[in-house]
Structure 1
Amino acid sequence: MIKSVKKGALLILLPIILLCISLIIGSSQNIGFGELFHHIALELGISKDDVVLQGSLPTILWQVRLPRIILTFLVGASLASSGGVLQAVFRNPIVDPFTLGISSGSAFGAALAMLFPVMAVNTSAFIFGVIAVAVTYLVSCAGAKTSIVSMVLAGMIVSGVFTALLTVLQYLSDPYKLQAIIQWTMGNLHTASWQKVHTAIFPVLIGLFIIIILRWKLNLLALGDQEAMAVGVNPTVLKLILMAAATMITASSVAAVGVISLFGLIVPHISRMIFGPNNSITVWANISIGGTFLLLIDDFSRTAMPFEIPIGVFTMIIGAPVFIYLMRRNAINWNS
């Protein structure tokens, strides 16, 4: 009981601590904790001291770093939560949010909007991400039933088609637009702004709310359709609702920051390692660990070098060895 309370407190404290650390570090200028808390007190009207942050630091803190931190946490929580949901729905530990073609569909939509600016990049990426999932579902349908294996295979096919279409757009693009497309497909957090936060926050929060409300039923789906029906749950309807929520938050995240590879696959496994296979607990863990872990990676990507490396590169470089290590140590135990 005490250990569970400590783990729960850690899920709350870690994001708060890392948020404060992320605010004071950056490639432009670092500040101390005391200076940060003093300025927060001034903004809230708690302190009446006339001493304020000098120069452009207030703008850097509240208009550059804070929206990026919030957006990064939202995206990390979304991808991790989507991965955990899809792994429970498909009862497959190697499924991630991009299995259904969301990543390639959104990437194609964003590239299309960059090449032909008929609509906003975020809107186009979101629309084509949803289209990719819809096509995957329709292709995998066989009468009234949809096989898990057929849906995964259909997702791979749809993903391949959209990747091929993306390659065609890259071939047709001029060098400047080609560079923007390539940067977007590698993860693009350096353009984070309050506008992107406002665009992504509502669909992400709605999707996470649906997942949190239905988290108890994820355990039933993980046991199988027959077991779910035995207790009066319609597994088909439940799967569609959860897949729609996972699609919404993933497409919104990809539309906001681009493609971040491998993240939604690894974090759910880390959550299960720490908190066990109970989805009613790991849903909360995926939100906290996913947001915190991506924020940590982003802090490293924007401070390690004078120039910024896309975060998608770091998630692949860091995530792949971590996943291989866990797999080799048999730490990933889907049946535990």
Structure 2
Amino acid sequence: MIKSKEINFKVSALFILIPIFVALVCLGFGRYSISVPETVDVLLKGFKGEGTGEMAYSVIFNVRLPRIILAMLVGAGLACAGAAFQGLFTNPLATPDTLGVASGASFGAVFAMMFDANLVVIQLLALVFGLISCLITYNISKIKGKSSIVMIVLAGMVVSAMFQAFVSLLKYVADPQDKLPSITYWLMGSMSAATYKTLILGSPFIIIGIILIFALRWRLNILSLNEDEAKSMGMNIKILRLLIILSASLITASCVSMCGQVGWVGLLIPHLARMMMGSNNKTVIPISISLGAVFMMVIDTFARSATAAEIPLSILTAIIGAPFFIALLRRTGGAWS
């Protein structure tokens, strides 16, 4: 028992330290290259209020640090939400947009862009419409005051398609010279608009959602049982299911509101976590959070550094995620439990 606890502690410490180390490397990576020791030195001086006039300080604190924090939060949040939905729906293909939240948030952001709104308004409308789409999905799924997993998933598909149609309609009527390019680029995902102001507005929702799912992670195993077995264990299935859905939806809406749509993270990372640690959600959730943060930081660093023009995130996640997911499926034979 002691050895098992020691191993678990070492594994937990490792998956906490890896994102921190990757963040330090990514902070120094770019056209203005900074080594890891120099990065640590600049961070320490910056937090003490020293060295504010240096070029390295300006690059790290004003340009790269907000992006790294946002990438870490978005990656951790989407991976956590994806793992939670896969456990809740007992479906390996469930993603953070299963309930149409990302499509609703995208509609809110595009609607704000049509009226030349600032970033704060865009973020607020995206968050509001993301949560509205979740509420619509949950209400549609109710039959005689009750909702089932199948009805929730089907309602989510319908709501997602509806909001995607609304987004397409707005793109159709948008000014092709002015607004359409910015809308299209935003929908493909980017961390370029990351600032401390947007982080203060959106990050609390992601953090709250992650904390709630992390606290309820062991109960996700019970939700994989049928309702009679779960109820016999003293679980309030309705409340638990609602908490997971709201937490994951809050995360997804906030992520989309800050950086647009980013695909594959919520699908790929939980599968990778299960391949490494098994199907117990008690370990899958924290591992997904760690791997998601690392994956998104690496992707964003490559997006801003590979070429002179920044590459949209959804392009990179698809190019990297799809072949990796195919290899993962061939290795596991599609088995999932």
Task: Give the partner amino acid of 2:68.
Answer: I
2: CA distance between counterparts of 1:45 and 1:159?
Answer: 47
Establish whether residue 293 from structure 1 lines up as the match of residue 292 from structure 2: no
Equivalent position SS for 2:91 = coil
Partners of 1:39 and 1:53 within 8 A in 2? no
1:178-204 deviation per Cα after TM superposition (whole angstroms, max 9, x unaligned): 111111111021111111111112111
Which of 178, 181, 185 is 1:179 aligned to?
A: 181
1:237-268 deviation per Cα after TM superposition (whole angstroms, max 9, x unaligned): 11001101111111011111110012111111
- Bigger mean CA deviation after superposition, 144-153 or 14-23: 144-153
Equivalence map 1:181-330=2 (5 Å): 181-330=183-332
Task: Give the partner amino acid of 1:154.
Answer: A
Aligned-residue offset at 1:41: 3.6
1:281-323 deviation per Cα after TM superposition (whole angstroms, max 9, x unaligned): 1111111111111111111111111221011111111111111
- Bigger mean CA deviation after superposition, 191-200 or 144-153: 144-153
Task: Give the partner amino acid of 1:42.
Answer: K
Task: Give the partner amino acid of 1:35.
Answer: E
Establish whether residue 168 from structure 1 lines up as the match of residue 169 from structure 2: yes
1: CA distance between counterparts of 2:198 and 2:48?
Answer: 28
2: CA distance between counterparts of 1:284 and 1:173?
Answer: 42
2: CA distance between counterparts of 1:6 and 1:331?
Answer: 30
Establish whether residue 139 from structure 1 lines up as the match of residue 145 from structure 2: no
Give the TM-score taking structure 2 as reference length: 0.93
**Which residue of structure 1 lines up, in the alignment, with residue 12 of structure 2?**
8
Aligned-residue offset at 1:67: 0.7
Partners of 2:46 and 2:57 within 8 A in 1? no
Q: Point out where structure 2 has 5 or more consecutive residues left out of the alignment.
A: none
Task: Give the partner amino acid of 2:151.
Answer: S
Aligned-residue offset at 1:3: 4.7
Establish whether residue 122 from structure 1 lines up as the match of residue 123 from structure 2: yes
**Which residue of structure 1 lines up, in the alignment, with residue 155 of structure 2?**
154
Q: How many residues align?
A: 330
Aligned-residue offset at 1:55: 5.1
Equivalent position SS for 1:189 = coil
2: CA distance between counterparts of 1:93 and 1:108?
Answer: 27
Which of 39, 43, 47 is 2:42 aligned to?
A: 39
Partners of 1:269 and 1:332 within 8 A in 2? no
Q: 1:241 to 1:41 in 2, by over 3 A?
A: closer
Q: 1:146 to 1:44 in 2, by over 3 A?
A: closer
Q: Point out where structure 1 has 5 or more consecutive residues left out of the alignment.
A: none
Give the TM-score taking structure 1 as reference length: 0.93
Establish whether residue 88 from structure 1 lines up as the match of residue 87 from structure 2: yes
